[in-house]
Structure 1
Amino acid sequence: MRTVEAITGVKPDHFMMVDFNAVKELTTAVGGVKVCMAKPIDDPKSHLKLPKGESRVEGEDALALLRTRHSFGNESDLDRIKVQQQFLGSMIREMKSSDTLTNPTKLFKLADAATNALTVDQGIGSAKKLMTLAQEIGKVDTKNITFVTMPVIDNPAEPTPITVVVAPQKGEQLFAMMRSDTSLTEVKQKEKAAKSKQAALLKGPKAAPADVRVDVLN
């Protein structure tokens, strides 16, 4: 937590650490998580085998999906992080759509599994407190949940970069937004709207070539 605070300038109120066992326990507790593959996956290193299209994964299969990095993108840790973020988003949607967060029995089962699987601080370290936290999360529209990865660049201190460091400008922009409690979702929506407006302008009426005048000043 001290490292997070030193880098971002944001002091965490609570923390929650998810290990490999937690992935198996929680995905099983919610009845599996729906995923969709663009191509069949057969990774001998993580033992992940999934067909093209939709599948529901839990337990060991869910763990294998989050561990693999040889089946997506350029096989880097950064691409694996993207897959993990997409999986968490799908898991949240699963919990909301299956009434897990509103059904007391299902919610207690999930909270009980979480207390055994997660490492949390004392402030939220009981099934009752985790149930309360889950109920509050359940009130948030999934459209307003944004996953973000810390901006990084290749480590300039390495002749052949094998590690990354925080991107100074983009990193500070993100941390400043976090410190000011700026909604990342709203920012992305505004950026998308601006791009759509620009695209609409480019699709507008075009002048005939004969009507275009060009002045060349030398």
Structure 2
Amino acid sequence: MAEHKRVLSRRRRILRTAACAFAALVVLGAGAGLFAYFRLNGNITSVDIDARLGDARPPAATDGSFNILVLGSDSRAGDNGSVAGGDTGGTARSDTAMVVHVNQAHSGAQVVSIPRDTLVARPDCVDANGKPVPGAKRAMYNSAFESGGAACAVKTTEQLTGLRMDHYLQVDFAGFARVVDAIGGATVTTTVAIHDKDSGLDLPPGEHHLDGQQALAFVRTRHGVGDGSDLGRIELQKQMVKSLLRQVGGSGMLTNPVKLWSVGDTVTRSITTDSALGSVNSLVGLAQELKGIGPDQLSMVTLPVETAPSDPNRVVPLQPQAGQVWAALKADQPFPSAIVSEQPENPAQAAPTAPAPAAGKPSAKATATR
């Protein structure tokens, strides 16, 4: 009997020890989870777009579809100076601009790249410090971000497209390079040789696996492809977007907590969002909504443009094709097939149409941007 009691006593001690150890693990795990949550939340920079723009905006869709304005900033502040090169005079411009439309079922997305040199009507804005920024009848699209920041970029985009930008997402040079490295690089295939002394990119035709610095050079290069305009660079950016989606989907990141933490920490340190996306919970919710969208569910076009009649180095939206693109997004419909078929097969084909005719002169038949 005494022996039986000693055995029971040992078992109770073992069970108590195991229970205490389990409780400690739960507490430590919860503590680590809380640390991760607050760390990632603290990383995120957000801008209250709604408060700055008020109610004078296009209505939001009611069918479940939504739009995101994605901007790439060429700021040289902080870490960006060491990876970007060049000089912007102390300002930041949006050298990459994409309107991303997520369909009603959240099963596919359409992306429209807006050339930075597109001349648009820029509305009156208020910058981040509350200072008025006067509008302009003809201004480069990327001047909106440079002059008035995120809110002005959104307002200008909404005026150009007639669509509500439900969300805003911005990434800078250093952030982009960090994210590419965090997910393991990006594989691209070049159909033409790319040699750009400004970006330092030197790639023969073929498949290449790029690290963060190389990927940044890839999406920034323009002098090494086509006619040296922004249009060739946009074609490289489209390929990079699909490559990154493919890399994320095939890396096993979503089932690897360590990898997921590393990528999450990198991403949240690298982006600026609208206030509705300015938390880990909101970003995770968005990721859940988009998890079924991969490269094959992505349709990408460049806004149809033609050379501006007033300046051969600028472009203007080509009508009626540009209007048809925005109308397709508004109706949650695919891009018109005629516009998709006119998209270039490689960056060397990316060039605007012939210069627009002067006022009063007959117009030649126009084609969508290459």
Shift of 1:9: 0.8
Hey, what's the Cα distance between the residues in 2 that align with 1:133 and 1:2? 22
Which segment is superposed worse, 171-180 or 53-62? 53-62
Q: Look up the match of 2:322.
A: 171
Hey, what's the Cα distance between the residues in 1 that align with 2:211 and 2:265? 17
After TM superposition, the score normalised by the length of structure 1 is 0.77
Q: Look up the match of 1:143.
A: 296
From the CA coordinates, give the structure whose radius of gyration is larger: 2
Q: Look up the match of 1:181.
A: 332
Q: For residues 44-83 of structure 1, what are the structure 2 equivalents within 5 Å?
A: 44-83=197-236
Equivalent position amino acid for 1:165 in 2? V
Match of 1:110 among 263, 267, 279: 263
Shift of 1:12: 0.8
Q: Look up the match of 1:30.
A: 183
What is the identity percentage for the equivalent residue pairs of Structure 1 and Structure 2?
36
Shift of 1:104: 4.3
Q: 1:55 to 1:61 in 2, by over 3 A?
A: same
After TM superposition, the score normalised by the length of structure 2 is 0.47
User: Cα RMSD (Å) of the superposition?
Assistant: 2.2
Residue 132, structure 1, aligned to residue 285, structure 2: yes
> Is the 2:184–2:211 Cα contact (8 Å) retained in structure 1?
yes
Hey, what's the Cα distance between the residues in 1 that align with 2:209 and 2:169? 25
Equivalent position amino acid for 1:167 in 2? L
Q: Look up the match of 2:240.
A: 87
Hey, what's the Cα distance between the residues in 1 that align with 2:256 and 2:328? 35
Hey, what's the Cα distance between the residues in 2 that align with 1:7 and 1:104? 42
Shift of 1:24: 0.5
Shift of 1:65: 1.0
Shift of 1:93: 1.0
Which segment is superposed worse, 107-116 or 27-36? 107-116
Unaligned 5+ residue runs, structure 2?
1-153, 342-370
Unaligned 5+ residue runs, structure 1?
193-218
Which segment is superposed worse, 120-129 or 79-88? 120-129
Richer in strand (by share): 2
**Count, aligned residues:** 187
Q: Look up the match of 1:15.
A: 168
Q: Look up the match of 1:201.
A: none
Q: 1:120 to 1:18 in 2, by over 3 A?
A: same
Deviations 1:99-157 (A, max 9, x none): 3345444333323212111111111123343233223322124312112211111112x
Hey, what's the Cα distance between the residues in 1 that align with 2:294 and 2:230? 29
Equivalent position amino acid for 2:246 in 1? R
Richer in helix (by share): 1
3-state SS, counterpart of residue 140 of structure 1: coil
Equivalent position amino acid for 2:331 in 1? S
Hey, what's the Cα distance between the residues in 2 that align with 1:44 and 1:147? 28
Hey, what's the Cα distance between the residues in 2 that align with 1:178 and 1:39? 32
Q: 1:120 to 1:180 in 2, by over 3 A?
A: same
